[in-house]
Amino acid sequence: MSSFPMNERQTVIVHVAVPLPLDAPFSYRVPAPLAPAAAVGRRLLVPFGRRKVTGYVLEVVDDDGRELRDVLEFLDDGPLFTPSELALYRWASSYYLHPLGEVIKAALPAGINVQSRRGRGLEEDELTGGRSVKTERVYRAVAGVPETAPPPGKAWVLLAHLTERGQESAPELRRLFGECSVQLRRLRELGFVEMAEREIYRDPFRMETVGHDCPLVLNGRQTAALVRLRTALDAGRFTPFLLRGVTGSGKTEVYLQAIAHCLEQGRSALVLVPEIALTPQLVSRFRRRFRCGVAVLHSGLSDGERFDEWRRIRRGEAAIVIGARSAIFAPLAELGMIVVDEEHEGSYKQGEGFRYNARDMALVRGKMAGACVVLGTATPQVTTWHAVAGGKLECLDLPERVNGLPLPSAEIIDVRGARGSILHARLAAEVEENLARGEQTLLFLNRRGFSTWLTCEECGHVLRCPNCQVTLTYHQGRNRHICHYCDYAVPAPSLCPGCGCGRIIHLGLGTEQVEAYVREHFPHARVDRMDRDTTARRGGHARILRKVAERQTDILIGTQMVAKGHDFPGITLVGILSVESTLNIPDYRSAERTFQLVTQLIGRAGRGDDPGRVLIQSLNPDHYALAHAVAGDMDGFYGAELAFRQETGYPPFAHLAALCLSGTAASAVERTSELLAARLRELRRDGGGRVEILGPAPAPLAKLRGRFRRQILLKAADRTTLHRLVRRVRESFQPPAGVRLQVDMDPVDLM
């Protein structure tokens, strides 16, 4: 820290993080005229080799006369982050082993960063041309009558409107009168109207919020949870909770009332949701409940909208932020409470670039801010449950549904030996019966499209993505074969592309095919489908949900999407068509995921006083994840799963890290992974200790989105050892040009 306030003539030195894959900060001299602007959190422009790059001030220190290059310019009006936010960035950078500059860049709203422009001779405007304040044009009628008469026609209508209203914005005029810039320009030239620029916020939620939502009366368990949260908030210390509540147990109301208490204390609140695009109801409920500003941050916003929401938060105009994972960096001051809703969701993890987990960071940020952190879910992660058992988290239970209904009955249908039928006779009969009673059915399959792959019965040719090497999924609606990783698509062939014969067959069931099957077998039913293909357009979710709510849909077919967050109040029968597609994903958490999915789907059933039924078609009817989910036996499942994890050495009994290599040249990635593995073994030998090195596997390289990838998985009993090894390898191993090394700490996705 330097001495403030400083003499204006004095120069200072700033330590700067640049958003590049470099670990060390760089120092620059701030020339005297710029010195007053030097402060932690400021964005600036510095010379970097032959380039100019943006950087972030980490520290301001006294000039010690070292030979340094000069800062070129400070950007923005003031700092973009506070020292306490910097502390969070530093923690993330060191924990996730990712360069600080890139962490800061990821934490700040997209669009404010101006990346380097090549070479010399660049214009000043170019550099400051990043996303900034948005303005709109406002037209105003000029008082007093100019000498000429106003032009007739559209211009006259515009002038009359402006005279009546006093002033109007350009977009509004365009909305009312159509394209009218020519006329406006003419009116300005003639002196009838004048124009001004006005600073505006882009409003990401156009939906008007009507009415006011009042706190609901809580049941006994909700009250107990709320009382506990209030006590913790009053204590003003970091306190982490698991709020475990079955679907429909009223978790949201507990959040709302706890947050109300937090706001009364003058503190702010952050609510993380797995995918905000899917939860507009939640946002509107918050907006109706709280009159203070509610800001929204998620990837669906344009850069400009996001920047505006970020500025509102920074200026203290919004005390509540609802957002997806990146909102963990929302610039809220005086943070009192962080809610992580559906904490078990995998989407809290960022899987590319700066690989962080917002659910984990919520605990860290909460600790730094002295806030309460509430992890809410019906089906906690196994690791979360283990933390509860170890006394690290306090568990608040909401075991009852608000409506008092018992949970639906669930049953497994053994489909072994009944290959080929999409709906087992048993399930088909139940659907028929449910239709006859005028009740609604949900059929779940975790795979969109018509069929997963196309093959030739003559030559065995299979259609694959040239970028990703995965099979192309056939989409009947578009009559194309599409890659689900990179969206590569080819028109559906009628003859085998390998041998030209006509004997091509579709294998692997998808929701489109289920829909076709259901329409054929239940011709009188009103059928709808909800997956990424039918909800791609804006408002797609709402349309399907409304039809279900208004009982215009008898049978809804859906993917993952239907299990997450949405309420389907009328569904009395749920059919899970092939639980194997989740159970057999090559990931050590597949059993956990299956248990969570089935439990969540069971929670979706029931209407009025009918608790509903759930039928699960399975080839593994005795699997423990299914058995415990069907029995509603949480403790049984967690017990079994923890035993399995302990036996196999997976979290929470071991820590994992993956070193991910990627590049466009297969041979370079291959060679680098061998070198990296050798270096790892070397490091482990001299003092690394008990870290298990898995890989590189002698398998073909995985190829995704045109990049070849390989990862080396590391397992260790304690995190410190693992961290030390990864840190050392990253310091001493420079991947060759064209290959990128990224670290993925702890919650690892196996490929």
Q: What angle separates helix 719-732 from helix 666-683, to the nearest 10 degrees? A: 120
483 known member of a binding site? yes
Nearer to DNA, 171 or 738 (CB): 738
CB of 120 vs DNA, minimal distance in Å? 8
CB of 399 vs DNA, minimal distance in Å? 49
Q: Which of 368, 390, 344, 158 is nearest to 244 (CA)?
A: 344
- Collapsed DSSP state (helix, strand, coil) of residue 69: coil
Nearer to DNA, 99 or 336 (CB): 99
Q: What are the contacts of 698-705 at 24+ separation with CB within 8 A? A: 700/469, 701/666, 701/669, 701/670, 702/469, 702/751, 703/467, 703/468, 703/469, 703/666, 704/467, 704/468, 704/485, 704/486, 705/467, 705/468, 705/485, 705/486
499 known member of a binding site? yes
Nearer to DNA, 22 or 486 (CB): 22
Phi and psi at 71, nearest 5°, equal -65, 140
- The answer to whether the beta carbons of residues 464 and 700 sit under 8 Å apart is no
Evaluate the omega torsion of the peptide bond into residue 5 and state whether it is cis, within 30 degrees of 0.
yes
Q: How far apart are CA 285 and CA 251, in angstroms?
A: 13
- The answer to whether the beta carbons of residues 44 and 68 sit under 8 Å apart is no
Q: How far apart are CA 286 and CA 273, in angstroms?
A: 13
372 known member of a binding site? no
- The answer to whether the beta carbons of residues 438 and 571 sit under 8 Å apart is no
CB of 360 vs DNA, minimal distance in Å? 25
Strands 335-341 and 268-272 turn out to be parallel
CB of 38 vs DNA, minimal distance in Å? 14
456 known member of a binding site? yes
Half-sphere exposure of residue 180: CA atoms within 13 angstroms, side-chain side: 23
CB of 130 vs DNA, minimal distance in Å? 15
Nearer to DNA, 526 or 740 (CB): 740
- The answer to whether the beta carbons of residues 166 and 140 sit under 8 Å apart is yes
CB of 126 vs DNA, minimal distance in Å? 14
Q: Which of 693, 694, 697, 689 is nearest to 718 (CA)?
A: 689
395 known member of a binding site? no
**CA-based end-to-end distance of the chain:** 46
Q: Which of 730, 672, 680 is nearest to 701 (CA)?
A: 672
Which tokens is 27 given?
């120092």
CB of 14 vs DNA, minimal distance in Å? 9
Q: How far apart are CA 444 and CA 577, in angstroms?
A: 6
496 known member of a binding site? yes
Nearer to DNA, 51 or 519 (CB): 51
CB of 51 vs DNA, minimal distance in Å? 5
Nearer to DNA, 99 or 380 (CB): 99
Nearer to DNA, 51 or 188 (CB): 51
Nearer to DNA, 22 or 619 (CB): 22
Q: How far apart are CA 26 and CA 17, in angstroms?
A: 6
CB of 73 vs DNA, minimal distance in Å? 15
Binding residues (CB under 7 A) for DNA: these are 20-22, 24-28, 47-51, 68-69, 115-116, 118-119, 668, 736-738, 740
Please, which residues have CB within 8 angstroms of residue 579's CB and are 6 or more apart in sequence?
594, 598, 616, 617, 618, 620, 626
Nearer to DNA, 24 or 149 (CB): 24
CB of 67 vs DNA, minimal distance in Å? 8
Across 52-79, b (16+ Cβ under 10 Å) vs e yields: bbbbbbbbbeeeeeeebeebbebbeeeb
Nearer to DNA, 188 or 740 (CB): 740
Q: How far apart are CA 716 and CA 514, in angstroms?
A: 44
Query: Which segments are annotated as binding site for Zn(2+)?
Result: 456, 459, 465, 468, 483, 486, 496, 499
- Binding site residue list: 456, 459, 465, 468, 483, 486, 496, 499
